[in-house]
Amino acid sequence: MTTEEQKKTAQEELDQAQQAAEEAQAAQENLVEGDVVEEAAESDAVASEVAALEEQLAQAKDQVLRAHADAQNARRRAEQDVEKAHKFALEKFTKELLPVIDSLERAIEAFDQTGADAALKEGVEMTLSMFVSTLGKFDVEQLNPQGEPFDPQFHEAMSMVPNPEVEPNTVIAVMQKGYLLNGRLVRPAMVMVSKAA
């Protein structure tokens, strides 16, 4: 082999080696690009999974907050129901006792009209006083709206009478006293109301 042939062969080998190196470099670049694409795809998948998990966490937190609020509301309602039950447990009993008070008051009025024994009248007055004060210990209040403005929430108008001496819609007579239990109306006062003449 001559030098020229050796040079040519060497050049061909060099060209082949250079081409092989270029191919290797291209393959490596393709591999790196594939890794980058693959990594990008993996990071997108991870990001979407993280977003989905964050959404589930937010929903779970919301459900826990709602459940906690519902539990608090239920507990508060139960406490209010128990409180009302304690407060107004005597309502039916009180309603049953009111006719007794009415009878004692009528008896005192009858003593005044007939002029009966003063000692007997005094005994009935003391009994009535004890009865009313005992009911007062259990937060039962008497409504005697004589001279007050008519209030339909607490008074029941039995009749309206013209009376120029007082303002219209003023209670001028109480036929039957009303009663409250812990501020709640048990029985309205039966009243006579003035009207303009």
Cβ pair 108, 128 in contact under 8 A = yes
Q: Does the pLDDT value for residue 18 go beyond 80?
A: no
Alpha-carbon distance of 23 to 15, in angstroms, equals 12
Q: 3-state class of 162 per DSSP?
A: strand
Q: Which of 184, 98, 79, 187 is nearest to 139 (CA)?
A: 184
* Per-residue pLDDT at 4: 67
Taking residues 133-156, what's their average pLDDT?
92
pLDDT at site 29:
66
**φ/ψ (deg, to 5) at 145:** -85, 25
Q: How confident is the model at residue 28 (pLDDT cuts 50, 70, 90)?
A: low
Sheet holding 189-195, edge to edge: 155-162, 189-195, 171-176
Query: Comparing 15-19, 109-113, 180-184, 186-190, which segment has the lowest mean pLDDT?
Result: 15-19
pLDDT at residue number 89: 80
How high is the pLDDT of residue 134? Answer: 92
Residue 38 CA: distances (Å) to CA of 42, 43, 44, 45, 51? 6, 9, 10, 10, 20
Residue 72 banded pLDDT, cuts 50, 70, 90: very high
- Which carries the bigger pLDDT value, residue 145 or residue 9? 145
